[in-house]
Amino acid sequence: MPDKKLIIANWKMNPPTYKEAEQLAEAVIKSSPKKVDVVLCPPFVWLTDMSHESTGKVKFGAQDVFWESGGAFTGEISAAMLKNSGVDYAIIGHSERRRHLGETDAMVNKKVLAALKAGLRVILCVGESKEVRRKGIDAAKRFVERQLREDLQGIKYQESSIKNLVVTYEPVWAISGGDSTHTADDPKNAVEMIAFIKSILNSIFHILYSRVLYGGSVNAKNAGSFLREPEIGGALVGGASLKPKEFLGILKAAEKYGSMSDK
């Protein structure tokens, strides 16, 4: 199992200028701890400029990917294009794409398979809505299990697939999306769900060692409460990743608790 914590910055549709994006990336790259795996996911319009200039201290990821290798698919970007541009990761199935763009589990599944085939590392996002969670933890687990079964259907039991798959548990109701009224999940609840996800990956897909992250209103103040848990392999960070001091605070927590898991 990886000892380092994995921290992913999902900038979403931010910032509005390349200069701001460059300054943000430089601030992170300059101060990133060696004992933390850091991935920056800028919007596509800034991504390849940054990935081509990567020094290797951080990795770069895409916020989406298409399932076809090429052709008449206006506006889409293939996994091979990303891989050939120095991009290492791709976020797939983020709840905002599922909710706002109608992305289905069948579409997510095709993207996962295409990305793994091209050698990208997949960050698969799963998680329940507020309506499901109100029905209780068992209902939430059934929902997430169904997502995993459908999103990973047809995945081959190969070392490369296992190594390149990261799952993020992002309870939809905990994602701020810029709304300060949203609050993060309780770390104990997150650990319970992440342990459940690992059990599904093990029993159904024969993945014995998996990296499962938490995503949902993570900030410098609460990061330690999640990252101190050995079960949680890191965090997918949204709004806080746009604030250098805030994001670096998360990285410091990841370094501290990642180092503890080494011992």
The tens digit of pLDDT for each residue in 238-248 reads 999 999 999 99
pLDDT at residue 141, rounded to an integer = 97
Reply yes or no on whether the pLDDT at 194 is more than 50.
yes
Reply yes or no on whether the pLDDT at 263 is more than 50.
no
Boundaries of domain holding 166: 5-262
pLDDT at residue 181, rounded to an integer = 54
Lowest mean pLDDT among 100-109, 161-170, 227-236: 161-170
pLDDT at residue 2, rounded to an integer = 58
Phi, psi of 197 (to 5 degrees): -60, -45
Using alpha carbons, select from 184, 183, 167, 180 the residue that is nearest to residue 8. 167
Q: 24: which residues sit within 8 A by CB, 6+ positions away?
A: 11, 15, 242, 244
pLDDT digits (tens, 9 = 90+) for 128-181: 999 999 999 999 999 999 999 999 999 977 766 778 999 999 999 887 555 555
Reply yes or no on whether the pLDDT at 93 is more than 70.
yes
Reply yes or no on whether the pLDDT at 26 is more than 50.
yes
Reply yes or no on whether the pLDDT at 233 is more than 60.
yes
Q: Bridge-partner residues for 225, per DSSP?
A: none
Q: Average pLDDT, whole number, for the chain?
A: 92
Judge whether 100 counts as a catalytic residue.
no
Question: In the structure, what pLDDT confidence band is assigned to residue 260 with cuts at 50, 70 and 90?
Answer: low
Which CATH number characterizes residue 69's domain? 3.20.20.70
pLDDT at residue 257, rounded to an integer = 95
pLDDT above 90: percentage of residues in the chain: 83
Q: Note whether 221 and 187 are within 8 A (CB).
A: no
Judge whether 170 counts as a catalytic residue.
yes
Lowest mean pLDDT among 69-73, 95-99, 174-178, 186-190: 174-178
Lowest mean pLDDT among 50-54, 91-95, 99-103, 118-122: 50-54
pLDDT digits (tens, 9 = 90+) for 28-61: 999 999 999 999 999 999 999 999 877 788 999 9
Q: pTM score > 0.85 for this model? A: yes
Catalytic residue (choose from 94, 103, 128, 255): 94
Catalytic residue (choose from 96, 103, 170, 229): 170
Q: 48: which residues sit within 8 A by CB, 6+ positions away?
A: 85, 86, 87
More confident residue, 261 or 68: 68
Helix H segments across the chain?
18-31, 44-52, 79-83, 95-101, 105-118, 130-133, 137-151, 159-163, 187-205, 223-227, 244-262
Domain count, the chain: 1
